[in-house]
């Protein structure tokens, strides 16, 4: 491993820790920052293996031990060393932009298709030609020019208080704007990327006017000022600060398997409902990977991308982190299966990025804090 890359690792660790200290949890990376150390480097393989097979350098906003285990498995199978830098997605994109041709990053992994779209539009990624990837990852879960590919899926569902809400009362996202739900809906702030992508999907499916009406309707029915992360919405329901919330399945799954007994109790007290099954389908989003524009280890990077799309890796993502596999040949874990199958929104996820700025404007017009 080069001294420059080690120095870059250290610098990002300092920067990321400072950001986490100064800012509240507001996205997928910081939301889970307490669970893992920001900034990590995989265990090095032997010098002989490294010299023979080379390396691949990865910038990622994913921060899970299960991901590290996958990189170790990849190294065991190929001899290719995986060097990992962790941080927030937007910070890593800015780093790629500043480093330009001098970057050592070969791959960029982040949550939310909107972020991947921004990376692509900013010229940070390049197309990948791989029959393996186009076979393993459905068309709607990858960029039209194959500059990024989905690795995992998360559904944005309605979570409800089991003791106060009968699931027969639930139907669609739109129904939450009706008078029956006045003062009963808890939500995150509008600047959260998950909410921006959700509204961006409504713009695509229903048009801007209907999307604005939805945002206004939710504002009228919220039980408290928008605040907190996804886990906090479930906790608010159990504290009777609201009866329903919009959350990612990933968080409920991880709360169910938490080492924190209180989080488990909260997760067991709420139910999961997949909205819009008779209409447009439930909103999904992804974490995904792209090959950086100035990748110096392109061949090795594509090998890692292909490995992460394989049935082996996709099964590991689901088993360890309660995410739906992007590879349709792989079944989700037992907890996810227990919630049942569901119809997904039928849109290409690149539109979440294309409609991003308009979604932000509509939130502002609706008065969603």
Per residue of the chain (369 residues), give pLDDT as tens: 443 443 444 344 334 433 333 333 344 444 444 333 333 444 333 344 444 579 999 999 999 999 999 999 999 999 999 999 999 999 999 999 999 999 999 999 999 999 999 999 999 999 999 999 999 999 999 999 999 999 999 999 999 999 999 999 999 999 999 999 999 999 999 999 999 999 999 999 999 999 999 999 999 999 999 999 999 999 999 999 999 999 999 999 999 999 999 999 999 999 999 999 999 999 999 999 999 999 999 999 999 999 999 999 999 999 999 999 999 999 999 999 999 999 999 999 999 999 999 999 999 999 999
Q: What is the pLDDT of residue 125?
A: 98
Structure token digits, residue 94? 């800015």
For 91, the enclosing helix (H) or strand (E) is helix 89-99
d(C-alpha 342, C-alpha 351), whole Å: 21
Q: What is the pLDDT of residue 46?
A: 37
Give SS3 for 335: helix
Q: For residues 67 and 123, state if they share a domain.
A: yes
Number of domains the chain is built from? 2
Pick from 356, 366, 60: nearest CA to 215: 366
d(C-alpha 175, C-alpha 121), whole Å: 35
Q: What is the pLDDT of residue 34?
A: 31
Q: What is the pLDDT of residue 15?
A: 41
d(C-alpha 5, C-alpha 105), whole Å: 9
Q: For residues 134 and 44, state if they share a domain.
A: yes
Query: Does residue 314 fall inside a structural domain?
Result: yes
Query: Does residue 343 fall inside a structural domain?
Result: no
How far is Cα of residue 110 from the mean position of the Cα atoms in its chain?
Answer: 7
Q: What is the CATH number of the domain that holds 84?
A: 3.40.190.10
Other C-beta atoms closer than 10 Å to the C-beta of 26 total 16
Q: On the CB side of 136, how many CA atoms lie within 13 Å of its CA?
A: 23
Query: Does residue 8 fall inside a structural domain?
Result: yes
Query: Does residue 68 fall inside a structural domain?
Result: yes
Q: For residues 145 and 206, state if they share a domain.
A: no
Q: On the CB side of 180, how many CA atoms lie within 13 Å of its CA?
A: 9
Residue 179: give the domain boundaries: 155-282+350-366
Q: For residues 266 and 354, state if they share a domain.
A: yes
**DSSP type of residue 167:** G
Query: Does residue 340 fall inside a structural domain?
Result: no
Q: What is the pLDDT of residue 8?
A: 45
Q: For residues 315 and 262, state if they share a domain.
A: no
pTM (2 d.p.): 0.84
Structure token digits, residue 289? 């990977």
Q: For residues 121 and 176, state if they share a domain.
A: no
Q: For residues 146 and 166, state if they share a domain.
A: no
Q: For residues 24 and 160, state if they share a domain.
A: no
Q: For residues 278 and 179, state if they share a domain.
A: yes
Q: How far is CA 337 from CA 150, 294, 319, 340, in A?
A: 20, 40, 11, 5
Q: For residues 138 and 161, state if they share a domain.
A: no
Give SS3 for 350: helix
Which DSSP string corresponds to 179-243? GGGTT-EE---TTSHHHHHHHHHHHHHH-HHHHHHHHHHHHHHBSS-S-S-HHHHHHHHHTTS-S
Q: For residues 181 and 207, state if they share a domain.
A: yes
Query: Does residue 338 fall inside a structural domain?
Result: no
């Amino acid at each position: 491993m080069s001294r420059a890359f080690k120095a870059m690792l250290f610098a990002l660790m300092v920067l990321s820790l400072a950001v986490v200290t100064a800012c509240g949890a507001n996205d997928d990376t910081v939301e889970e920052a307490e669970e893992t150390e920001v900034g990590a480097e995989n265990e090095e393989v032997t010098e002989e293996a490294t010299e023979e097979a080379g390396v691949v350098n990865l910038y990622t906003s994913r921060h899970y031990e299960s991901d590290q285990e996958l990189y170790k498995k990849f190294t065991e199978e190929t001899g290719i060393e995986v060097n990992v830098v962790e941080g927030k997605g937007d910070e890593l994109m800015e780093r790629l932009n500043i480093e330009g041709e001098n970057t050592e990053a070969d791959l960029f992994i982040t949550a939310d298709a909107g972020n991947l779209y921004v990376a692509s539009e900013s010229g940070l990624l390049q197309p990948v030609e791989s029959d393996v990837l186009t076979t393993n990852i459905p068309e709607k879960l990858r960029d039209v020019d194959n500059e990024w590919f989905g690795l995992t899926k998360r559904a944005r569902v309605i979570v409800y208080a089991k003791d106060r809400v009968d699931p027969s009362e639930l139907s669609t996202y739109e129904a939450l704007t009706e008078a029956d739900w006045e003062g009963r809906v808890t939500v995150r702030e509008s600047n959260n990327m998950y909410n921006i992508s959700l509204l961006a999907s409504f713009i695509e499916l229903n048009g801007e006017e209907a999307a604005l009406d939805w945002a206004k309707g939710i504002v009228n029915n919220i039980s408290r000022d928008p605040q907190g992360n996804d886990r906090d919405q479930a906790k608010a329901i159990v504290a009777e600060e609201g009866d329903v919330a919009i959350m990612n399945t990933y968080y409920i799954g991880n709360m169910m398997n938490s080492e924190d007994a209180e989080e488990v109790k909260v997760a067991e007290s709420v139910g999961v409902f997949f909205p819009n099954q008779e209409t447009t389908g439930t909103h999904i989003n992804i974490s995904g990977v792209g090959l950086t524009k100035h990748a110096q280890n392109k061949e090795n990077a594509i090998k890692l991308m292909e490995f992460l799309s394989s049935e082996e890796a996709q099964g590991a993502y689901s088993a360890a982190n309660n995410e739906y596999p992007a590879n349709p040949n792989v079944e989700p874990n037992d907890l996810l299966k227990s919630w049942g199958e569901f119809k997904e929104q039928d849109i290409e996820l690149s539109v979440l990025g294309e409609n991003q700025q308009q979604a932000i404007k509509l939130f502002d017009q609706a008065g969603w804090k």
